[in-house]
């Protein structure tokens, strides 16, 4: 993909990763992009670098516009490997360039590279860099989503380069939202935003709320948001800001995700009357079997629904391993504003449901107890109990949902 001029004298010079399907354990069925931006001005400035494997592509894109040796500034908004691991390749070609990075960003970069030959300036919120007709204003966004993270705002271009925030894992020849939605639906784009938020930004809702408020109070005039992954928000930047604001405030569908695994199908059989009970109570419901579903998809489905029921058999007095893995992953994402319950089956002694409730309570989620736990195969009475449980849970979800 050739460079794309996204604003006068500002170019996307990134790379499209059409093939990646496992992004540090997170499934990316539609690949991703690594975006970085070249600003042609008196002091030519590169904002962000790309994943090491794509350094040659990005450098070729830069060379299509200017000799990389002429780059005077390199801004590093975020130091995760997919953005900073080719910094040494860039600096080898642009040895005169100064690097601008947060203090905490430098602490990470020092662990990857010998930075002693480089001219590095620490920046923080409020600092500015005048590069000619453009000004770069730095805005730290700690824990969105790493301690080092920051954004770069260019007032003359009304452009916010937002690093991971507002990104999506989408490999596409479209560079802009309106290009993407010419061939795909808005729903597909929004699904990618939700997927990204659920798996990466879920723990940071309070920080996101505060940062969006801060951006509003700063009065930044933004007509384009350029993240480091996926499409650039040219047509409707306010759409993604609104989505982030809504998700940070707890937005979810009035629906239930039943997320389970099963040994000899007993727990699986229970999902059907529970699902029917929820559906008959007028609440949408989706059933997700963990071993057949990538973890990041299960997390996304959890995040989209107001309610979640987790199902597990008891194995060797413990919860089923794939369910334990899901719960561990979920706990790390610090979910909130969701209501949950548990169900499962056992042979000679139970325990999984009790363990699930203790985990849900540790996550400080609203719970509907005691759930349902059946011995061996669900009997007709058990099936009726599961149906009633589904109805009861749906009613609780509906009531809980009213506060949002
Ligand atoms: Fe795209 Fe936090 O890295």
Same domain, 282 and 391: yes
Residue 80 Cβ inside 6 Å of ligand 1? The answer reads: yes
Quick one: average pLDDT of 15-22? 97
| 37, 78, 197, 228: the active-site residue | 78
Which pLDDT band, with edges at 50, 70 and 90, does 1 fall under?
A: confident
Cα 78 to ligand 1 centroid, rounded to whole Å: 7
Question: Relative to the CA of 34, which ligand 1 atom is closest?
Answer: 1
| Ligand 1 near 148 CB (within 6 A) | no
Categorise residue 2: left if φ over 0, alpha if ψ from -120 to 50, beta otherwise: beta
Indicate whether residue 373 lines ligand 1 (CB < 6 A): no
Is residue 90 domain-shared with residue 153, that is, in the same domain? Answer: yes
Q: What span, in angstroms and rounded, lies between the C-alpha atoms of 181 and 188?
A: 8
Is 42 known to be catalytic? no
pLDDT in tens, 45-94: 999 999 999 999 999 999 999 999 999 999 999 999 999 999 999 999 99
**Domain termination residue (choose one: 248, 278, 297):** 248
CB 82 near ligand 1, within 6 Å: yes
- Same domain flag for 283 and 139: no
Same-domain pairing of 298 and 235: no
| Pair (29, 172) in one structural domain | yes
CA 81 to ligand 1: nearest atom: 3
Question: Which CATH number does the domain housing residue 268 bear?
Answer: 3.40.50.360
For this structure, is 164 an active site residue? yes
CATH number assigned to the domain comprising residue 155: 3.60.15.10
Q: How confident is the model at residue 259 (pLDDT cuts 50, 70, 90)?
A: very high
Tell me what percent of the residues of the chain surpass a pLDDT of 70: 100
The pLDDT tens digits of the residues spanning 276-328 come to 999 999 999 999 999 999 999 999 999 999 999 999 999 999 999 999 999 99
Taking the CA of residue 149 as reference, the ligand 1 atom at the shortest distance is 2
Task: Report residue 174 CA to chain centroid gap.
Answer: 20
Residue in the structure block whose two tokens are 């620490």 = 122
* Domain identity same for 173 and 190: yes
DSSP letter assigned to residue 302? H
116 in the same domain as 79? yes
Name the domain boundary from 248, 280, 312. 248
Look up the domain containing 58 and give its range. 4-248
- Residue 274 shares a structural domain with residue 130: no
Same domain assignment for residues 244 and 296: no
Tens digit of pLDDT for each residue in 344-387? Answer: 999 998 999 999 999 999 999 999 999 999 999 999 999 999 99
Choosing from 17, 43, 164, 301, which is the catalytic residue? 164
Ligand 1, atom 3, lies closest to the CA of 80
What is the whole-number distance in angstroms between the Cα of residue 51 and the centre of ligand 1? 10
265 catalytically annotated: no
261-283 tens-digit pLDDT: 999 999 999 999 999 999 999 99
- Looking at the structure, tell me whether residues 243 and 261 fall in a common domain: no
Task: Determine if ligand 1 sits within 6 Å of the CB of residue 17.
Answer: no
Asked if residue 295 lies in contact with residue 324, where contact means CB atoms within 8 angstroms, the answer is no
Share of the chain above pLDDT 90, in %: 98
Ligand 1 atom with least separation from CA of 229: 1
**Catalytic residue at 392?**
no
The answer to whether 82 is a known catalytic residue is yes
Q: Which of 37, 196, 346, 387 is catalytic?
A: 196
**Same domain for 184 and 73:** yes
Which ligand 1 atom sits closest to the C-alpha of 164? 1
Question: How far, in Å, from the CA of 128 to the mean position of ligand 1?
Answer: 24
Residues 325 and 361 both lie in one domain: yes
| Residue 229 is a catalytic residue | yes
134 catalytic per annotation: no
pLDDT of residue 12 exceeding 80, the answer is: yes
Does residue 78 line the site of ligand 1, with CB under 6 A? yes
Residue 195 binned pLDDT confidence (cut-offs 50, 70, 90): very high
Ligand 1 atom 2 nearest Cα:
80
Q: Which of 191, 218, 248 is the last residue of a domain?
A: 248
Catalytic annotation on 78? yes
Distance set, CA 323 to CA 205, 309, 342, 378 (Å): 25, 12, 11, 20
Residue 24: exposed, middle, or buried by beta-carbon count in 10 A (0-12, 13-18, 19+)? exposed
* pTM exceeds cut of 0.75: yes
229 close to ligand 1 (CB < 6 Angstrom)? yes
pLDDT tier for residue 234 given thresholds of 50, 70 and 90: very high
The residue nearest atom 1 of ligand 1, judged by CA position, is 164
Mean per-residue pLDDT, 19-28: 95
Number of domains in the chain: 2
Integer Cα distance of 278 and 338 in angstroms:
16
- How far, in Å, from the CA of 234 to the mean position of ligand 1? 21
CA of 230 to the centre of ligand 1 (A): 12
Which of 366, 344, 347 minimizes the C-alpha distance to 355? 344
Q: Which of 229, 260, 301, 359 is catalytic?
A: 229
Residues 6+ apart with CB under 8 A from 109: 76, 79, 84, 87, 101, 115
């Amino acid at each position: 993909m050739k460079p794309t001029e996204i604003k006068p004298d500002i170019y996307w010079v990134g790379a499209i990763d059409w093939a990646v399907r496992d992004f540090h354990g997170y499934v990316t069925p539609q690949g991703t992009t690594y975006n970085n931006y070249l600003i042609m001005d008196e002091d030519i400035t590169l904002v962000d670098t790309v994943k090491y494997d794509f350094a040659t592509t990005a450098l070729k894109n830069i060379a299509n516009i200017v000799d990389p040796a002429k780059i005077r500034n390199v801004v590093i908004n975020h130091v995760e490997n997919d953005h900073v691991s080719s910094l040494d390749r860039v600096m080898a070609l642009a040895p005169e360039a100064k690097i601008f990075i947060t203090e905490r960003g430098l602490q990470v970069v020092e662990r990857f590279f010998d930075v002693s030959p480089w001219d590095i300036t620490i920046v923080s919120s409020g600092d500015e860099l005048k590069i000619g007709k453009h000004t770069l204003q730095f805005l730290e966004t700690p824990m969105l989503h790493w301690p080092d993270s920051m954004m770069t705002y260019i007032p003359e271009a009304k452009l916010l380069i937002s690093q991971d925030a507002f990104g999506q894992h989408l490999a596409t020849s479209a560079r802009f939202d309106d290009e993407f939605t010419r061939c795909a639906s808005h729903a597909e784009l929004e699904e990618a935003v939700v997927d990204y938020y659920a798996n990466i930004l879920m723990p940071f809702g309070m920080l996101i709320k505060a940062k969006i408020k801060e951006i509003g109070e700063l009065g930044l005039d933004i007509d384009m948001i350029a993240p480091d992954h996926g499409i650039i928000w040219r047509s409707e930047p306010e759409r993604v800001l609104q989505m982030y604001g809504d998700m940070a405030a707890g937005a979810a569908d009035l629906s239930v995700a039943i997320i389970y695994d099963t040994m000899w199908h007993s727990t699986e059989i229970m999902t059907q009357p529970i699902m029917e009970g929820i559906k008959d109570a007028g609440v949408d419901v989706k059933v997700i079997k963990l071993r057949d579903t990538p973890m990041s998809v299960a997390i996304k489905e959890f995040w989209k629904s107001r309610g979640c029921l987790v199902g597990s058999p008891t194995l060797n007095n413990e919860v089923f391993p794939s369910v334990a893995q899901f719960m561990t992953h979920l706990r790390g994402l610090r979910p909130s504003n969701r209501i949950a319950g548990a169900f499962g089956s056992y042979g000679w002694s139970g325990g999984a449901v009790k363990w699930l409730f203790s985990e849900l309570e540790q996550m400080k989620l609203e719970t509907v107890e005691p759930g349902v736990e059946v011995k061996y195969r669900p009997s007709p009475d058990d099936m009726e109990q599961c149906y009633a449980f589904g109805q009861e849970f749906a009613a609780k979800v509906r009531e809980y949902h009213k506060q949002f």
